[in-house]
Amino acid sequence: MIYYKQASSEQELEQILELQQENLIKSLSSEDWEKEGFLTVEHSMEILKAMNDKCGHIIAVENGGVIGYALCMHPVFADSIDVLRPMFIEINKVIQHANNYMVMGQICVAKSHRGKGVFRNLYLTMKNRLPEGFDKIITEVDGKNKRSLAAHAAVGFKTLKIYPSGEKEWHLIILE
């Protein structure tokens, strides 16, 4: 049975990083990332733990192992990850003076558990566990990640803006 909770141990954070490594674009063949989607950002244990201490990451657990996660990235971490800095600049352009949003820093479901509702339940749990006063989840998806764009649309995310950064086209999306 799969259950959903906020990460509460270093072992769970280590399992998040293991799942992340398996699904980074650099770890996948082009056929796999086109079909299954991919992750762009590689987190260190230090930043993952700091983010979790501020707002616990949402994890899906089965038989004691993390099989999916949605990282909670409080806006105070806007300058912590280079590749995500432009996202926070764009958020501030489209939602001026907003401080009631949580950034979903990355979501991933183990290949063995895709298509079983884990993605949707990670977001439902995240929405229900947002800190008081937070009522929006914002994230961005690489335009080449068609599987992720479709999955986010299916759970109710709407496009705020599409913008270029580096050599990528990012879709800035929101769930209210």
Can you give the pLDDT at residue 33?
86
* Token digits of residue 84: 């995500």
Q: Which two tokens stand for residue 100?
A: 């009631």
Ranges of the chain whose pLDDT falls below 70: none
- Positive or negative, the CA dihedral 152, 102, 99, 90 is negative
The label of the residue with tokens 């600049």 reads 89
- Categorise residue 165: left if φ over 0, alpha if ψ from -120 to 50, beta otherwise: beta
What's the confidence (pLDDT) of residue 13? 98
pLDDT of residue 99: 78
Residue 63 has a pLDDT of 96
Residue with tokens 């141990």: 9
CA dist 143 and 33 (Å) reads 13
**Cα–Cα distance measured from residue 24 to residue 92, given in angstroms and rounded to the nearest whole number:** 27
pLDDT, position 100: 87
Fold of 2-175: Aminopeptidase (3.40.630)
**What's the pLDDT at 143?**
95
**Distance in angstroms (rounded) separating the CA atoms of residues 21 and 145:** 17
Alpha-carbon gap, residue 8 to 27, rounded angstroms: 27
* Residues 51/73, Cβ–Cβ less than 8 Å: yes
How many whole angstroms separate alpha carbon 102 and alpha carbon 127? 9
pLDDT of res. 32: 87
